[in-house]
A and B are shown apart, each in its own frame.
Chain A
Amino acid sequence: MRTVLTIAALTLQEGSRRRVLRSLAVLTAVLLGLSAWGFSEIAADYGGLTSGEAKVAGSTVLNLVMFGFSLIAALGTAFLAGPTLSGEVESGVALAMMTRPIRRVQVLAGKWLGLVAFGAGFVTVAGVAQFVIVRVTVDYWPPHPVTGLLLLAGQTAALLTLGLLFSTAISPMASGIVAVGLFGATWIAGVVGSVGDALGNPSVAMVGTVSRMLLPTDGLWRGAMNSFQDPALLAQVGSGVEESPFLSMQPLTWVYLVWAAVWTALVLGLAALSFQRRDL
């Protein structure tokens, strides 16, 4: 466990020393500033809206901004995951390290833990800051903020685990691109699926369901959105919002959450197997 924690700390140190943290902080500050401006405009300009409508608008925009954060977290960690493993193998940094009395699976687990801590930390800090902005501007507080943030952290973990798996076999850049490409494709498939739901077309809806099973990032994101929006407000606005990619009608089931955890564990196990067999 000591080795795993040492590698996890090293991964976090890499993130901060390589100015990933600083870039993220600047990006987050810009996004938070823009969203604060946007929310204050909602509050000021739409005085004609009922308070319920203003909250639905706030809730939707909150999901939109949170999607931005989840995108930064997921893509950022996926792009970190590639170089941290295959980059070290390619450059030769891994050679001297791997001849220490440690197992490769410990190195992989350490990197994973460090990246998860990085992604989860980012999602929490940016998410809480965003909740405070929404509260101050449109007086809205999400019903299940902790669950939502946990699901976002889960989404980040799922994508970076996939990135790690790819980085055990292909080049750092390719692994980042493939992970991010799959993430985007699953999100679009999720939107297509929700359009299918809205139109009552089960075969189109199936596209979203299948893609959410194959890569649980979109499913977890939808669960997170559901935790951030108030269901009573949705009911008040009525139907016609189901197809919006930034609203989610149903909370996640336990079965799906278990599947997402099993999926992540399986992919991590595969990554360990692939890394174990790789010639350095």
Chain B
Amino acid sequence: MGQVIDSPAVWASNLRKRYKRRTAVDGVSFTVGRGEVLGLLGPNGAGKTSVIKMMLGLVRPDAGEVMLLGRPNTDPRSRQRVGYLPELFRYQPWLSADEVLRLHVRLAGVKVSGEDRRETLALVGLADRAGDRVGGFSKGMQQRLGLAVALVAGPDLVVLDEPTSALDPLGRADVRDLLLSLKDRGVAVLLNSHLIGEVERVCDRVMILDHGRVAASGTLAELLGRRSLRLHLTHVTPEAAALLEPCEREGDRYTIALPDDVPALVAGLVKLGVGVHAVEPARVSLEERLLDILREHP
């Protein structure tokens, strides 16, 4: 058991997949640590969903290997503690929401009480629709049900493929809270989302795919570079300007690399007679960085 716990939640090596003449995935390797949240970003057709499907055994890779929670993904037991919300979320329309959860619990081979199932439905905002047939659900409600299906069997790894595509802003906020609570509970998450803000707020690491390859990957700090400091200053003397070097200047606004001691810098500037109107931390947004990477990576 120790070996199983020590292993990463996902270990994927050199995954490749061709659909007829088109290469969908070309040598993708990555890991998701236990309790880590990995964001998967990239333009449409970058191969994100193909990577997820190969990882979960839904699509046969042409090459490559995957280990899920310490077992090769060719062994069905590797998926025992995995929850998945597909991009194309559909559930048996002739079953009720609770029956769908009961089916998945049974297939997962775990015991989950009726109360726990109700709690899972409540977590995604479907507490009062437990007995209703899925056929009558809106798209948003079906996606919420999909989240409940992914969470109901007490997973150690949750794979969410565009989990907020059909949700309203309130639903998106709910999913964000849900992701943060999963993170707190030490559940590993692989999140594929076009909503960069969502990824930036909850992910520990990000992997950017483009044309089936890994264009960039790393922690947010690694990808976005050092944080910077923006200052709005007047009466900047040459001595004060020397304190700010190197900097980027636009009129009265200066952007410098984040110094170790911000109060000391501000005190120094004030001492030199500089008018300090605003001091704010800044950094390049993930969206800007993503666009840069995709442009650099033809």
Which residues of A are in contact with B by a Cβ distance under 8 Å? 2-3, 6, 10, 13-14, 17-18, 91-93, 95-103, 277, 279-280
A99 and B88 form a contact (CB under 8 A): no
**A101 is contacted by which of B88, B89, B108 (Cβ under 8 Å)?**
B108
Are the CB atoms of B60 and A279 closer together than 8 Å?
Answer: yes
From residue B43, how far is it (CB to closest CB) to chain A in Å? 22
B106: Cβ under 8 A from any A Cβ: yes
Among the stretches B2-10, B74-82, B180-188, B262-270, the one at the interface with A is B74-82
Q: Which residues of chain A are within 8 angstroms of B79 by Cβ–Cβ distance?
A: 99-101
* Docked CA distance A14–B79 (Å): 26
Residues A92 and B84 in contact in the complex (CB < 8 Å), given A97-B107, A100-B104: no
A99 touches B58 (CB 8 A): yes
Docked Cα-Cα span, A91 to B93, in Å, equals 11
Q: Is the CB of B92 within 8 A of A14?
A: yes
The residue on A at minimum CB distance from B88 is: A92
B149 within 8 A of A: yes
Cβ distance B131 to chain A, nearest Cβ, rounded Å: 14
The yes or no answer to B37 lying at the interface (CB within 8 A) is no
A93 to B58, CA, bound (A): 13
> Chain B contacts of A91 at CB under 8 A?
88, 90
Residues of B within 8 A of A17 (CB): 94-95
Smallest beta-carbon distance B68→chain A, Å: 10
How many whole Å from B166's CB to the nearest CB in chain A?
13
CB distance from B156 to the nearest CB of A (A): 13
CB-CB nearest in chain A for B17 = A279
How far is B80's CA from A95's CA once the two chains are assembled, in angstroms? 15
Asked if A101 and B58 sit within 8 Å, CB to CB, the answer is no
User: Chain B residues near A18 (CB, 8 Å)?
Assistant: 94
Hey, which chain B residues are within 8 Å of A92, CB to CB? 86, 88-90
Q: Are A102 and B107 in contact, CB atoms less than 8 angstroms apart? A: yes
Within 8 A of A (CB), among B46-66: 53, 56-60
Given known A-B contacts A10-B103, A101-B108, A96 and B85 have beta carbons under 8 A apart: yes
Measured between C-beta atoms, what is the minimum distance from A84 to chain B in Å?
11
Instruction: Decide yes or no: A101 and B77 within 8 Å by CB, A6-B103, A10-B103 being known contacts.
Output: yes
User: Among the listed A3, A97, A101, which residue makes an inter-chain contact with B80, where contact means beta carbons less than 8 Å apart?
Assistant: A101
Provide 20 A-B residue pairs closer than 8 Å at the C-beta atoms, listed in order of the A residue.
Answer: A2-B109, A3-B107, A6-B106, A6-B107, A14-B92, A17-B95, A95-B58, A95-B90, A96-B86, A96-B89, A96-B150, A97-B103, A99-B56, A99-B79, A99-B82, A100-B107, A101-B78, A101-B79, A279-B53, A280-B58
B163 near A: Cβ within 8 Å?
A: no
Interface size on B, residues (CB 8 A): 31
Q: Is B91 an interface residue (CB 8 A)?
A: yes
Q: Which residue of B lies closest to A279 (CB)?
A: B59
Using CB atoms, name the residue of chain A closest to B108. Answer: A100
Q: Which residue of A lies closest to B85 (CB)?
A: A96
- Asked if B39 CB lies within 8 Å of chain A CBs, one says no
User: Please, how many angstroms separate the alpha-carbon atoms of A279 and B19 in the complex?
Assistant: 10
Q: Chain A residues near B82 (CB, 8 Å)? A: 99
In the complex, per-residue mask of B98-125: 1 if CB is within 8 Å of any chain A CB, else 0: 0000011011110000000000000000
Interface residues of A, dominant DSSP: helix
- Expressed in whole angstroms, the minimum distance between the Cβ of A145 and any Cβ of chain B is 34
Q: Is the CB of B84 within 8 A of A95?
A: yes
**Interface flag for B146 (CB, 8 Å):** yes
Measured in the bound complex, the distance between the Cα atoms of B77 and A49 in whole Å is: 69
- Decide: B76 and A13 in contact? CB cutoff 8 A: no
- Closest A residue, CB atoms, query B107: A100
Among candidates B91, B94, B107, B150, residue contacting A13 with C-beta atoms closer than 8 Å:
B94
Residues of A within 8 A of B149 (CB): 96
Residue contact B57 to A99, C-beta cutoff 8 Å:
yes
Distance between Cα atoms of A101 and B109 in the complex (Å): 8
Task: Determine the chain A residues whose CB is within 8 A of the CB of B80 once the complex forms.
Answer: 101
Q: Is the CB of B76 within 8 A of A102?
A: yes
Q: How far is the CB of A239 from chain B (nearest CB, A)?
A: 53
Chain B residues closer than 8 Å to A6, beta-carbon distance: 103, 106-107
Pick the residue among A13, A98, A102, A103 that contacts B58 (CB under 8 A).
A98
Top-6 shortest CB links A-B: A92-B88, A17-B94, A100-B107, A95-B86, A92-B90, A280-B58
What A residues does B59 contact at CB under 8 A?
Answer: 279-280
Shortest CB–CB separation between residue B112 and chain A, in angstroms?
Answer: 13
Given A99-B82, A100-B76, 14 more contacts at CB 8 Å? A2-B109, A13-B95, A14-B92, A14-B94, A91-B90, A92-B86, A96-B84, A97-B107, A99-B57, A100-B104, A101-B76, A101-B108, A279-B53, A279-B59
Which residues from chain B contact A97 at a C-beta distance below 8 Å? 103-104, 107
CA distance A93 to B60 in the complex (A): 19
Cα distance, A3 to B150, chains bound together (Å): 19
**Bound CA span A2–B110, Å:** 12
**Contact A93/B94 with A100-B107, A280-B58 known, Cβ cut-off 8 Å:** no
